[in-house]
Structure 1
Amino acid sequence: MTLLNLGIYSGWFGPIQVLLAEQAATISPDRKEAVLSLVLGVGAAVSTICNPVFGAFSDRTTLRRGRRLPWVLAGAAGSALSLLVLAAAESVTVMLLGWCAAQVFLNAMYAAAMAAIPDQVPVARRGLIGGLVAIAQTIGIVAGVAIAGLTGSIATGYLATLVVLLLLTLPYALGSRDLALPADHRPPPFAIGSFVRSFWISPREHPDFAWAWITRFLVNLGNYVATLYLLFYVIDGLGVSEDDAPGRVLVLTALYAVATIVTTAVFGHWSDRLGRRKVFVIWSGVVSGVASLILAVGQTWPAAVVAAIVLGCAFGIYTAVDFALITQVLPRAEERAKDLGVINIANALPQVLAPVLAGAILVVVREAGGSVATRGDGWSLGYGTVYLVSFAASVLGSVLVTRIRSVA
């Protein structure tokens, strides 16, 4: 499971953090921000739909080898083909179609993989296991960025990402202890109407699930607003050359990852021992907002380094403990993957909105005559505003965690 998540996140974040931005700049240098915003936004919209749908399909799978493993294997094969398409893309259209296909298949893998945790892990151990998986995801982000930034070309970066994804999926494919659906829990015959209606989870009947969704949405919105334009922020806000920028992004991502790894399993295990979740989630959101504030005000390389470490500590705690909290407010055990998929919309939807929101802020500031691309010579009003919005979203999300009643 750890290796599988490492592979999935390498496949996601190598393109998101480096390759897609470089490809946008190569295909359309004068409109790189708009192209990147389009590709990331549409891809995230696809992710928003596919995660709960594939989760629901895995809940209904009745194969003897298990209900999660088949979707992991099919997703890995499809992801590999999608990355091949991206490696060959020379137009915005092909780039967009390739990334949307990658989102479809990566989400099939991820939805099935994450549901396997509450399938097999008792509540009292989910903070620790969630922390270990979060560490793998964080290392996967770093590995993806490293692969993308150090392979020498965009096409080679995609091909190397493909190979890593497949190699890290193989141990799970061979050693998974996936659980088959018991004979007395077989789903009713498939009907499209009831299938679609099952994705609506009433906030009135399940208020804690609704508040958990809202808080995750806001914290993730703050995080994605802060990170999706990081390459352009390093170039246009900090004044780093385009040749050196991918290396600087790798440094910031590595610092973020180390801080995340140090805090994730420790605080996840601590949360298990105390039997408390909310206090960790609340303060991690506040500290995440502080990191965005540092990026907004500082706009220097040393400030970016500090912000990466602070954000890593905050998000490490948040990722481990919030996952454990969410597994305790899922409405139905027999539909875990689907319900986790609905929660994961709160991860994917900010990926749709964050590039649109950040891009709109930068365009409005530029049209109003404000500074955006200062190249390190002065303070960028555009990026300052972007990171202030990130701060506000993170803090609001942490405050609303207090509305969850059924979890300590």
Structure 2
Amino acid sequence: VLGICGGVASLVLLAFAPNLVVVAIGWCLAQIALNANFAAITAAVPDHAPHQQRGTIGGFLGLAQTVGAVVGAGLAAAAGGIVGGYLACAVFLVIASAPYVAMRRDLVLDPADRPSFSWGTFLRGFWISPRLHPDFAWAWLTRFLMNLGFAIGLVYLLFYLDDAVHHENPEAGVFLLSAVNSLALLVTVVAGGWLSDRFDRRRIFVTVAGVVMAAGTLSLAGFHSWTAAIIGVAVLGLGMGVFTSVDLALMIDVLPEAIDRGKDLGVVNIANSLPQVLAPVVAAPIVSVLGGYSTLYAVAAGVTLTGAVLVYRIKSVR
């Protein structure tokens, strides 16, 4: 509920922001509120879902993220302007969240069983020792690398189409490629999680996903054409769909302690959001100084393959 209220307030602030400073403040507040909301929803999975269904549920969560991004863009476009777009998204946030808030039944700890709160313990809790919890550390690093490779693969598509492919309308081309990527992701996101549950295996699915994603970015690296771009982003989406569902189940399986699931999954969420920030920082010097787009997409492939290999350092999950 707090995430919804904060999200609505930040979206309204963005709708009527008079200058860039207020836009920056509104955007940061939206990230804080909506990511808090997402972390709380994700924490419900280990609280309620048995081990043998977590991959499938992860698939549906991944499906919701992908469809949500498309619906949000559609709402903004249909509203016919910046103010209307943000307000439409704010209203939809309330409508979409109301069933969850009304129907969800939390498992509430008895006050006697709750640990005493202190700010020192709270802040120290965000450090999860790799020495004490190596499987969690390797799983976090795997997720970070796979998301970084995916983000690098998408962040410079506009310039890739303009500079390397020489597409006549790169903006429209990026829109189409994004749609192809999302559709490909939707094809595998639920099926990948279900198969992971069916065979009770996580690591092999993460590895296969990484190899498929690397194949997609290598297509972009080796063939600078419109056809190669479509094939590349489609293959990248197929791999990311499998990874999105299976990796959530894997991360839940290696959480250190049940009492800290919400906080630990918040730490996991950093491995999703940080790559989106770092991808442009990594990509810019590669494109401008270190070899251009072929090198950029080869690096993206190398990053995802590294994640696909490191997942086997996790020992407590098959």
TM-score by length of 2: 0.91
Matched, 1:145 2:55: no
> 2:129 aligned with 1:219, yes or no?
no
Could you tell me which residue of structure 1 aligns to residue 187 of structure 2? 262
Quote the Cα distance in structure 2 between the aligned partners of 1:286 and 1:150: 38
Match of 1:119 among 47, 51, 54: 47
In the TM superposition, what whole-angstrom CA distance separates every residue of 1:238-295 from its partner, at most 9, and x where no partner exists?
44566x72x4433323322222222122221111121111000011011111111222
Alpha carbons 2:167, 2:226 under 8 Å: kept: no
- For the Cα contact (< 8 Å) 2:221–2:293, is it kept in 1? yes
Q: 1:320 offset after TM fit, Å?
A: 0.8
Give yes or no for the alignment of 1:78 onto 2:6. Answer: yes
**Is 1:400–2:310 an aligned residue pair?**
yes
Q: CA deviation at 1:390?
A: 1.4
- The answer for the alignment partner of 1:176 in structure 2 is 104
Distance 1:387 1:147, change over 3 A: farther
**Please, which moves more after superposition, 149-158 or 247-256?**
149-158
Match of residue 286 from structure 1 = 211
Task: Please say which of residues 154-163 and 119-128 is displaced more in the overlay.
Answer: 154-163
- 1:100 counterpart residue number: 28
For normalisation by structure 1, the TM-score amounts to: 0.72
Is residue 280–residue 318 contact of structure 1 (8 Å, CA) maintained in 2?
yes
Alignment partner, residue 187 of structure 1? 115
Q: Give yes or no for contact 2:217–2:233 (8 Å, CA) kept in 1.
A: no
Structure 1 distance, partners of 2:41, 2:224, is 38
Q: Which amino acid aligns with 2:314?
A: I
Secondary structure of the 1:163 match is helix
- Do 1:233 and 1:383's aligned partners in 2 also have CA atoms closer than 8 Å? yes
Alignment partner of 1:298 is 2:220: no
- CA distance in structure 2 between the aligned counterparts of 1:128 and 1:90, rounded to whole angstroms: 44
Contact 1:259 1:316 in 2 (8 A): yes
Q: 1:291 to 1:305 in 2, by over 3 A?
A: same
2:34 corresponds to 1:109: no
User: For the residues of structure 1 that align with 2:110 and 2:202, how far apart are their CA atoms?
Assistant: 31
Tell whether 2:284 aligns with 1:359.
yes
**1:331 matched to 2:256:** yes
Change (3 A) 1:226 1:149: farther
**Is residue 382 from structure 1 mapped to residue 258 from structure 2 by the alignment?**
no
Q: 1:389 & 1:196 partners in 2: Cα distance?
A: 35
Q: Residues 235, 100 of structure 1: CA spacing in aligned structure 2 closer, same or farther, 3 A cutoff?
A: farther
Judge which range, 278-287 or 338-347, deviates more: 338-347
CA change 1:300–1:166 in 2 (3 A) is farther
Give the count of matched residue pairs.
Answer: 318
How has the CA–CA distance of structure 1 residues 200 and 279 changed in structure 2, closer, same or farther, with 3 Å as cutoff?
same
Displacement after TM superposition at 1:98 (Å) = 1.9
Contact preservation (8 Å) 1:142, 1:253: no
Structure 1: gaps of 5 or more residues: 1-72, 366-380
* SS of equivalent residue, structure 1 residue 285: helix
SS state at 2:120 partner: helix
Per-residue CA distance 1:124-154 (angstroms, 9 max, x = gap): 1101111111111111122233344565444
In structure 2, stretches of 5+ residues that fail to align are none
